[in-house]
Amino acid sequence: MAQGFNSFTAPYTASGRAALVPAPPWHYAGWLMNVAVSLDTSRSAEVVPAALGRLTGQGCVHFADWQATTDGSELLDPVYSQYRETIVIAEIERPDGKRYNYCPFIWVDQDISLLRGLLQGWPKKLGTTWMTRSLPIEHAAAAPLRAGSRLGATLTVKERRLVEARLTLTGQPGQPLGFLTNAVVGSVGLPDLTRPDQPPKVDWVLPAIQGKVASDWHAAEAELSVLPHPVEELSLLGELKVTGASVGWLGMTVVGASPLAK
Amino acid sequence: MAQGFNSFTAPYTASGRAALVPAPPWHYAGWLMNVAVSLDTSRSAEVVPAALGRLTGQGCVHFADWQATTDGSELLDPVYSQYRETIVIAEIERPDGKRYNYCPFIWVDQDISLLRGLLQGWPKKLGTTWMTRSLPIEHAAAAPLRAGSRLGATLTVKERRLVEARLTLTGQPGQPLGFLTNAVVGSVGLPDLTRPDQPPKVDWVLPAIQGKVASDWHAAEAELSVLPHPVEELSLLGELKVTGASVGWLGMTVVGASPLAK
Amino acid sequence: MAQGFNSFTAPYTASGRAALVPAPPWHYAGWLMNVAVSLDTSRSAEVVPAALGRLTGQGCVHFADWQATTDGSELLDPVYSQYRETIVIAEIERPDGKRYNYCPFIWVDQDISLLRGLLQGWPKKLGTTWMTRSLPIEHAAAAPLRAGSRLGATLTVKERRLVEARLTLTGQPGQPLGFLTNAVVGSVGLPDLTRPDQPPKVDWVLPAIQGKVASDWHAAEAELSVLPHPVEELSLLGELKVTGASVGWLGMTVVGASPLAK
Amino acid sequence: MAQGFNSFTAPYTASGRAALVPAPPWHYAGWLMNVAVSLDTSRSAEVVPAALGRLTGQGCVHFADWQATTDGSELLDPVYSQYRETIVIAEIERPDGKRYNYCPFIWVDQDISLLRGLLQGWPKKLGTTWMTRSLPIEHAAAAPLRAGSRLGATLTVKERRLVEARLTLTGQPGQPLGFLTNAVVGSVGLPDLTRPDQPPKVDWVLPAIQGKVASDWHAAEAELSVLPHPVEELSLLGELKVTGASVGWLGMTVVGASPLAK
């Protein structure tokens, strides 16, 4: 970028005020519904590059209702801070045997988060996530945090419902799942239009996260359905069989990323 | 409606399944930001029909993030249960001296709520409300319920920002305000297209509410701005001067309405 | 409404400026894709009240990309004038043998049109319609009005794709179809919340239309699919078998309505 | 990207089917409203990197209602092909005296176009554009292509109206303007999160365009307003004074890009 220009991302201006994404730290806090799944590994090589690793068969679908801020100002104009997303996590085993999480698919409903995701190597596209909220009152519409409360979460991408989840709280303590348990390898890179016939060069990175904080996690029984879609490829993971579920609130701060060790 | 048809509202079918609005009871639970205001009464006769009463000068702007359900099923597919709205409440004094609340303006982001509102005499139009949420964790993006947390709420109608509010929690207990304190008179009626030159006949009604439940209310200091708009007429209430503010969660059930006593 | 108040619909104010719907005349002009269908009449009594008539087995699905205005001002701020909708038309035969069109289902993407529809007895709910446009240039992305151009139209309601149509222009002249050929009976009425256990009283009306003007109609071959939906009831019409299709532009003005003769 | 993976952009899979953006060629056709402006050059160094050049004082605001396709399939499912955008063009003079166009700001309403824009060096963010359409019929709502027809175009970014234009067709032939007259230099680059304190490296490129085709251009008189915005920086261009306007349809195909000669 030009000397004296302060935008972290486009558009590029001297002040950087209009940049879609400001520089980190990025503070996030959100309401999460986590559905752990076992998945089919037979098409691993179509989802995870062999040089990166292979699917272990464990994964998680997260539905998240986030607030994000840099310096607090976005919380005063929440169209700049709030977004919802559905995150698909698949555990991988690297050639050296180390295990990480990998995000083959993710959909979000705000541009700021979409680009922030691409910078971190999360393959974000736009999609619409709806999630029942658990409110701290006893009422038929409040889905309070107690045994028997039922909650739904759904994802729609380009006009087709793609994922549906239904959770029933058990009243028991729950576990952190999916990306809450191990770092997620990101795939950073864009193709170069001056060589449009060449594949993009992709770098694998790990996020630099600080200040993670969570509420208690609350266990749930869950059903999860993946529906057919003419473009999306979630079906590469086969049938997603629920192995556990939890809900709760998470906060964390992303300050950058580091290259994945080779 | 035809004999044997069960739709409460259009479209009309035998099963009634596709009806936009099912019959009550309607259970609501939501996160509320309430900003009590004093307002200008000099244009009362342009906002409140003289036969109904006159503005007292007190009012409230509510921002609400609702979940609503009839039989619980909507909570499992939350695009059918969730919506956000901005509610303007102006207190009125009837000719007999009794005081009620009146809703001159309200904007919501879902069709189900829009029509349910018209049936209750709330003059709903589509508009987009954003509200910071208070999450039960200590984090820079969580706006937890303690002194110093800052939250924003905004309303946009047909592409123009119309209302902006900024709240700072004081850490003190708060009060129920606005429609939480007194019933709201609704104006029910639609014009008749077979006589398009005649004004609509409007009936005044009071809601029948059951099972009201609330969390604690949390006091806030607030700033509120109303911006110019080429169509909306919120400016008929003059400058809205903040007299108090609170946040919290409310649940209630609407089972019908009754005519306002003359 | 109160004396001196000029709103045609809520909200009610002296000026009437903020009313969601201004009084007619309502001028409409739009791009239309019309797919004539034959449909199953075996469930007629679940879709059309017997006192109104019965399905004849002919119908049409229209996809429309409208501009509407009262005095021209909405064309200068097109968020107030433009909307898209999907209109299902089923021909009915009245007990006296006269034939009309009836609209059992319709979905639109703007509140102004939704309420204007309810006033006319069209059972509008929100839904999202996408339609390929035919542009007057020869280009791979322009779908120009000539043999072989392919166009799509789709409807999504509450996050599920409900209708998909694919048209191929034949290069031949086409026909006006569906609501372009015969008046549509509307069902006007809302339930009364003071008696929520009683069905709404519905009046049948015919629209008063003036100044109808159309471009040439262009014939097309078409495929039409209706997808499953947990709430919508389009399946009451059975399989929709395409019997013809056309595209073109229509203008017309609605000035009111008249009661359907008994 | 991994050997055997065919995604042009994320998400990365073997088939590449789910990639947000497929590889070029990208065919575009659209309805354009072009408002040529003179602008203030005094803050040139805050908008255009000095090494790239300086503002000449000429520019254009384009409102565009596009259809885009790769192999024609997107035209059958138009949520994948259609989008609207507002494009701000400022002419620049390079240090060597050559003149180009530059796009300091642009807002679009679909993710596919957003990312395709970033690959081309257009600084796209999400924003909502509305444009009156000119329909080929004589009707009060059709804005036909003849003297006296009035059309509006507007841009809203994160809930605030940012640009408003009103055009009146003169009935005279018009001119291609803005990006229709000279190539636009793009700024390609993203920051590297592994070095978040370093500015992004940006490459300047020119688009490779083929098969440009246009309808006649129709002249218009125009008014253009830029409204205040807390984040956007369009005001860096000072007052935008209209110097000409036209409307019409354009088709073109982008096949790649080439580096800007130094």
Give D137-192 pLDDT, tens digit per residue: 999 999 999 999 999 999 999 999 999 999 999 999 999 999 999 999 999 999 99
Minimum-distance CB partner of A24 among D14, D119, D196: D196
pLDDT band at residue A183 under the 50/70/90 scheme:
very high
CATH of domain D26-259: 2.40.400.10
Give A89-113 pLDDT, tens digit per residue: 999 999 999 999 999 999 999 999 9
Give A189-220 pLDDT, tens digit per residue: 999 999 999 989 999 999 999 999 999 999 99
> Contact partners of D by the rule of 3+ C-beta pairs under 8 A?
A, B, C
pLDDT band at residue B4 under the 50/70/90 scheme:
confident
Cis status, amide bond into C191, omega within 30 of 0: no
Beta carbons within 8 Å of A76's beta carbon, 6+ residues apart: B132, B150, B151, B152, B166
Q: Looking at the predicted structure, is the pLDDT value of residue B185 above 90?
A: yes
Query: What pLDDT is attached to residue C3?
Result: 67
CA of B154: which chain D residue's CA is closest?
D159
Residue predicted with more confidence, C117 or B2: C117
Minimum-distance CB partner of C150 among D75, D82, D166: D75
Structure tokens at B225: 């701005």
Query: What pLDDT is attached to residue B190?
Result: 95
Mean pLDDT of B49-54: 96
- Mean pLDDT for all residues in chain B: 97
Residues of A within 8 A of C159 (CB-CB) are 128, 130, 154, 156, 159, 161
Query: What pLDDT is attached to residue D2?
Result: 62
As a whole number of Å, the end-to-end CA separation of chain A is 30
Q: Looking at the predicted structure, is the pLDDT value of residue A1 above 60?
A: no
- Mean pLDDT for all residues in chain C: 97
Query: What pLDDT is attached to residue C138?
Result: 98
Residues of C within 8 A of A154 (CB-CB) are 159
Minimum-distance CB partner of D154 among B156, B159, B161: B159
Query: What pLDDT is attached to residue A262?
Result: 74
Among C63, C71, C75, C79, the residue to mutate for chain D (most D Cβ within 10 A): C75
Q: CA A128 to CA B77: how far, in whole Å? A: 13
CA distance B133 to chain D (A): 19
Mean pLDDT of B215-222: 98
Q: Work out how many CB contacts closer than 8 A connect A with C.
A: 17
> Parallel, antiparallel, or unpaired for β C150-157 and C203-214?
unpaired
Query: What pLDDT is attached to residue A199?
Result: 87
Query: What pLDDT is attached to residue C199?
Result: 86
Q: Looking at the predicted structure, is the pLDDT value of residue B100 above 80?
A: yes
Enumerate residues 200 to 219 of chain C having a beta carbon within 8 A of any beta carbon in chain D. Answer: 211, 213-215
Residue whose token pair is 């109608």: B157
Q: CA B234 to CA D258: how far, in whole Å? A: 53
Enumerate residues 128 to 157 of chain D having a beta carbon within 8 A of any beta carbon in chain A. Answer: none
Residues of D within 8 A of C69 (CB-CB) are 140-141
Residues of D within 8 A of B156 (CB-CB) are 159-160
Query: What pLDDT is attached to residue C10?
Result: 97
pLDDT band at residue D199 under the 50/70/90 scheme:
confident
Q: Do D77 and A20 touch (CB under 8 A)?
A: no
Query: What pLDDT is attached to residue A3?
Result: 67
* Contact yes or no for C12/B123 (Cβ under 8 A): yes
Q: Looking at the predicted structure, is the pLDDT value of residue C1 above 60?
A: no
Minimum-distance CB partner of B256 among C50, C196, C255: C196
Minimum-distance CB partner of D161 among B130, B154, B160: B160
Q: Is A81 on the interface with C (CB under 8 A)?
A: no
Among A69, A73, A75, A255, the residue to mutate for chain B (most B Cβ within 10 A): A75
- DSSP annotation of B195 reads S
Beta-ladder partners of D206: D258
Query: What pLDDT is attached to residue D1?
Result: 56
Least confident of B78-82, C1-5, C257-261, D242-246: C1-5
The domain locations on chain B are: 26-259
Query: What pLDDT is attached to residue B29?
Result: 98
Q: Do C156 and A159 touch (CB under 8 A)?
A: yes
Mean pLDDT of A3-13: 92
ipTM: 0.97
Q: CA A58 to CA A88: how far, in whole Å? A: 11
Q: Looking at the predicted structure, is the pLDDT value of residue B240 above 90?
A: yes
Minimum-distance CB partner of C215 among D132, D136, D150: D136
CA of B251: which chain A residue's CA is closest?
A139
Give D12-57 pLDDT, tens digit per residue: 999 999 999 999 999 999 999 999 999 999 999 999 999 999 999 9
Q: CA B22 to CA D259: how far, in whole Å? A: 60
